[in-house]
Homo-oligomer: A and B are copies of this chain.
Amino acid sequence: MKLLRINMENLTYRYEDLPDSELLWGGRALTSKIVHDEVPPTAHPLGPHNKLVLANGVLTGSLASSAERSSMGGKSPLTGGIKESNAGGTAGLKLGRLGLRAIIFEGIRDDFQIIRIHKDGVEFEPARDLLDQPISEAAAKIRQRYGEDVGLYMIGVAGERKMLTAAIANMDKDKSPTRFYGRGGLGAVAGAKGIKAVILDDTGVERNKPKDPQRFRSAMKIYAQWLREAPGTGKIFPELGTAAMVKTTNKLGALPTRNFSTGSFEGHEAISGETLRETILARGGEGTPTHACMPGCAIRCSNIYADVNGKRITSPIEYENIGLLGSNLGIDDLDAVVELNRLCNEYGVDTIETGAAIGVAMEAGLLNFGDKEGAINLLKELGEGTPLGRIIGGGAELVGKIYGVRKVPVVKGQAMPAYDPRSIKGLGVTFATSPQGADHTAGQTVRAQVNHHDASGQVEVSREAQKVNTIFDILGICYFASSAVAGRFDLLADMVSGYIGREITADDIVGLAQETLRMEHAFNRGAGMTKAHDRLPEHFYEEINPASQTVFDVPEEELLAIGTEGRVS
């Protein structure tokens, strides 16, 4: 396994070996280690000292189900802290086939480059004709020019403009460039480095093989069985996708509605997972409610949404999209949500951050809640780069600052995903204390068997979830598999041991996850974060969520114990 270090200022590169002893350093552990070790925590996120690190999970490339994810890391221009964002799709698989565990991008430049990586090295080309256009168009040109079968990382106009909502796209198994490294504005970091597209061409490269195929396969067999047997991964996700969550959160009073002013949406039926599935099935054609973003994924939570003529619009429509671009905007029209989602995908912005930003703009009175045409037009301004579009492209916190709005649903500058933290308090703890800012994938607690409205015990629930999510982010396995694995990490250790050919224990994996969180908090402390950053916005403590009749009331001392400052000792 190798690391590839690319200097974008000089357009030079070199390979480094990843010693066998470090083969467990994958995904989030590796991006966070490199950022922690090599980026000064006070570095300007868009400056020459920040790095963009792309790292495969330990199992990425193994073709184990749901294990093709790769991580992006760097100092986030949105949070000012360390960032890891991961996605499924196919680029990780290609990266692995090229024998690369990670690529480290260094330096900045003003123009934009295409970086083509193949078995013999790296080539750079100006990206001029790919700029200022929808991601789908630019990706089609790439595939036409470099082969239908390449892997691809790409930014859109948002990243070119260094907007703080900017994400990085890669392609799903059907070559749709709609799988995003969404959170934290890493697309702006890529933009500052002049990285328009990274092409992974594995022509002439042999397929990865497990070091101990028998051990790997027998572990994988059990793992696949668990995935089939667990209700979430075996039935709910394949049928309804993540949008199954709409009804659950609406009932809990946790579905963000009209800028998180309440947690139940009178129009939720129209945008539920059930309605989504029915609509897709009724329209037929290119749409499908069950779709895998990665080759061989058994969970298949993705979908393809088609118009009334059965023609594909975009993919995937997920719970977070529905929550942030639907109920959070007071929009109860699935086609409108899909159009907003499609535009986000084409411009290359995080749907969560963008939905929250439009919600704050609605709070500011720029347009009314429920105004779907207004929301679509506002998002088009982002695509055009007008001043108003720039404001929205700056994310929820900046919209709040520009318009003097104080009810802004962010932590560490990053917008909350679609869970009101007053109603799912474990997630509130995660939002407050994760080094990543508000992020459900940093410690998802919604499936924990607790009273989500009750503050007691939520710190422990979140602590455990933060550990588990980090484990999955290191291994490159989608955390949706975690419900099926249910803490039985011995099996994961067995899979890893068989794949990398070294004896790995569950304790090794858990220990690395804890070390990863430690490094992330340490980086954030160096960047200037304290317990004052481990808080929800003021109004979540004081204003009752009418749907749940709760405020966020997990005591500050408890938060301290698992937050940035409490981890010093």
Chain A residues packing against B (C-beta within 8 Å)? 41-44, 46-47, 49, 77, 161-164, 188, 191-192, 386-388, 390-391, 393-394, 398, 401-404, 406, 525-533, 535, 537-539
Contact = CB atoms under 8 A, between A and B. Distances in A.
B41 A539 contact: no
A539 B387 contact: no
Nearest to A77: B401
A532 B527 contact: yes
Kindly list the 10 A-B residue pairs having the minimum CB-CB distance in the complex, ordered from nearest: A162-B404, A528-B532, A387-B388, A387-B387, A46-B406, A44-B538, A528-B530, A390-B402, A44-B406, A47-B406
A538 B47 contact: yes
Contacts of A528: 528-533
Given A46-B406, A49-B538, 12 more contacts: A41-B532, A42-B532, A44-B406, A161-B403, A161-B404, A162-B404, A192-B406, A394-B402, A526-B532, A528-B528, A528-B530, A528-B532
Contacts of A388: 387
B49 A192 contact: no
A406 to B, nearest CB: 5
A540 to B, nearest CB: 11
B406 A402 contact: no
Contacts of A161: 403-404
A393 B402 CA distance: 8
A560 to B, nearest CB: 13
Nearest to A163: B404
Contact of A404 (B192, B404, B529): B192
A426 B77 CA distance: 30
Contacts of A49: 538
Given A387-B387, A391-B402, A398-B398, A43 B538 contact: yes
Nearest to A533: B528
Contacts of A532: 41-42, 526-528
5 contacts: A41-B532, A161-B404, A162-B404, A387-B387, A394-B401
Nearest to A392: B387
Nearest to A366: B387
Nearest to A393: B402
A365 to B, nearest CB: 11
B44 A537 contact: yes
A390 B406 contact: no
A162, A387, A401 pick with most chain B CB within 10 angstroms: A401
A539 B44 CA distance: 9
Contacts of A47: 406, 538-539
A393 B47 CA distance: 25
Given A42-B532, A528-B533, A391 B401 contact: no
A222 to B, nearest CB: 46
A191 B404 contact: yes
A402 B163 CA distance: 7
A42 B531 CA distance: 10
A536 B332 CA distance: 47
A503 to B, nearest CB: 41
A162 B408 CA distance: 15
Contacts of A529: 528, 530
Contacts of A394: 398, 401-402
A42 B191 contact: no
Contacts of A537: 44
A78 to B, nearest CB: 9
A523 to B, nearest CB: 11
Contacts of A533: 528
Nearest to A534: B528
A531 B393 CA distance: 30
A44 B527 CA distance: 21
A388 B402 CA distance: 10
A398 B402 contact: yes
Contacts of A535: 42
A530 to B, nearest CB: 5
